[in-house]
Structure 1
Amino acid sequence: MTTPPQPPSADDLLMGGGGPPSAKFPVLGYENAGRIVGKPTVEQQRDYDTDEPLYWADGKPRWQIVATLATGERDPEIRDDDGVRRLFIKGQMKTAVQAALKAVKADGMEEGGHLTVTYTADGEQKNPKKHPPKQYTARYVTAANAELIAPEPIKQPPVSATVATPTAAPAAAALPPEVLANPAVMALLAQLAGAPATPPPL
């Protein structure tokens, strides 16, 4: 029998909380790893946009496993972030975790076990209105052996790289004066720098 979900505390409900933040996989190759805190639970999946509970075509609830990990994540936008993250295991991620458990002959995830889930690829995009489904691999270490694993290193969320806009100055500096005197050359350098091109005089 599935344990009914417990309501959040008054403070969590008042401040918009409801448990640890969700584990995220913002870029390809990103991983979430850590010791499992407490026994994993089962919850019904919900629609991302409407938060309505999801069902299969036959009317049965679509379940997901929720594992809470003590990770090395530290998000400066989360107050007093201790790195604890909830991992919602469903779909292909569930298949990856099952394979990881079978590889170490574990009967299931246990408190104190160490789980690593990595975003490794994108699947086939069947719905053009949504992002392609993420594909994952997983590794699991039993609680008895997890004592040998060092704590997760602290890491910040990835920052998008900024691509610099090319300018004409470096290119111009490398050209001799007689070349710079040519209006056609200067017009080309202005185009490369993103400035409006001035046509050379006739």
Structure 2
Amino acid sequence: MTTPQQPYQAPSAEAFLMGGGGAPTAKFPAFGTTVSGRVTERPTVEQQRDIKTGDKKFWSDGNPMMQLVVTVQTDQRDTSIEDDDGRRRLFVKGQIQKVIADAVRAVGAPGLEVGGILSVTYTHDGTPSGPGMSPPKQYTAQYTAAATAMLHASDPAAASPQYAAAPPQQYAPPAPAQQQYAPAPQQYAAPPAPAPAPVAQQHNPAVAALQAQQQAQAAAAPPPF
């Protein structure tokens, strides 16, 4: 079958400047794998190629099979890739094209924009299209429009997870001052002097000796604290 000639498609300015074949292809080796990042350059449309031969692919009617190429900045790093900067290319076609289109429509964006954030997750395998065919991978997608992503990036709370506003302080009335108890100083009172003995006993030597002993004991007793 003769394939129609396709017009030459010039590479993007980024690809021409940086050279090479562009960023590495995003890989989805297992269920649950997610490729997510900010769109770094304007997506381009190009013709699909056979993964084994590299030849351009056509539909049975001779029309070219096209795909969208989207480059996103991820946090992935592959030690087998020299100077890996984390950029990955997504080749959007088939089922993955549908889920990405639905994600873009859900946020009201006109399309994939530079600065928008695209996340694609490999969820499960579909039904093979025929005997001996591999089951097609099935994906889900989420998209954040460029304006929304930029707004969140300019928000200090969103840009820095460590930033948090100080919680409002609750007013608490000051506690009443506690009065210190101080017992009143006790005044030392000397013990009362013994009552004078009756006149009849004042000349009794025994009574006079007892009185003198009591007075001496009273004078020698230390004052109470």
* Fold match (TM-score > 0.5): yes
Tell me whether 1:82 sits opposite 2:85 in the alignment.
yes
Question: Equivalent residue for 1:70?
Answer: 73
Q: 2: distance between equivalents of 1:129 and 1:47? A: 18
- Other-structure match for 2:137: 134
Distance in 1 (alpha carbons) for counterparts of 2:17 and 2:148 = 38
Q: Which residue matches 2:101? A: 98
What TM-score do you get using the length of structure 1 for normalisation? 0.66
Is 1:30 matched up with 2:37?
no
- Cα 1:9/1:109, change in 2 over 3 Å: closer
1:42 to 39, 42, 45: 45
Question: For residue 112 of structure 2, what is the aligned residue in structure 1?
Answer: 109
Question: Distance in 2 between the 1:106 and 1:10 partners?
Answer: 29
RMSD of aligned alpha carbons:
2.4
Q: Please report the TM-score for the alignment, with normalisation by the length of structure 2.
A: 0.60
Q: Supply the distance in 2 between the matched residues of 1:3 and 1:101 (Cα, whole angstroms).
A: 29
Partner of residue 4 from structure 1, selected from 3, 9, 13: 9
Aligned amino acid, residue 73 of structure 1: Q
Relative contact order, CA 8 A, sep 6+: which one is greater?
A: 1
Q: Where do 5+ consecutive residues of structure 1 fail to align?
A: 152-202
Q: Unaligned regions of 5+ residues in structure 2, if any? A: 1-6, 160-225
Q: What displacement does 1:126 show?
A: 2.7
How far 1:10 sits from its partner (Å)? 11
Structure 1 stretches (4+) deviating beyond 6 angstroms? 7-11
Q: Distance in 2 between matches of 1:112 and 1:10?
A: 20
The code of the aligned residue for 1:25 comes to F
Bigger drift between 2-11 and 22-31 goes to: 2-11
Is 1:58–2:61 an aligned residue pair?
yes
Change (3 A) 1:41 1:47: same
Question: What is the number of equivalent residue pairs in this alignment?
Answer: 146
Change (3 A) 1:124 1:32: same
Which secondary structure does the structure 2 equivalent of 1:93 belong to? helix
Counterpart residue identity of residue 49, structure 1: K
Residue type at the aligned position of 1:103? A
Paired AA for residue 78 in structure 2: D
Structure 1 CA distance, aligned partners of 2:145 and 2:40? 13
Task: After TM superposition, give the deviation of residue 129 of structure 1 in Å.
Answer: 4.2
Identity %: 48
Q: Secondary structure at the match of 1:100?
A: helix
Letter in 2 for 1:50: T
Deviation at 1:6, TM superposition (A): 2.7
Deviation at 1:5? 3.5
How far apart in 2 are the matches of 1:122 and 1:141? 26
Deviations 1:15-34 (A, max 9, x none): xx411100010111101000
Structure 2 Cα separation of the partners of residues 10 and 89 of structure 1: 24
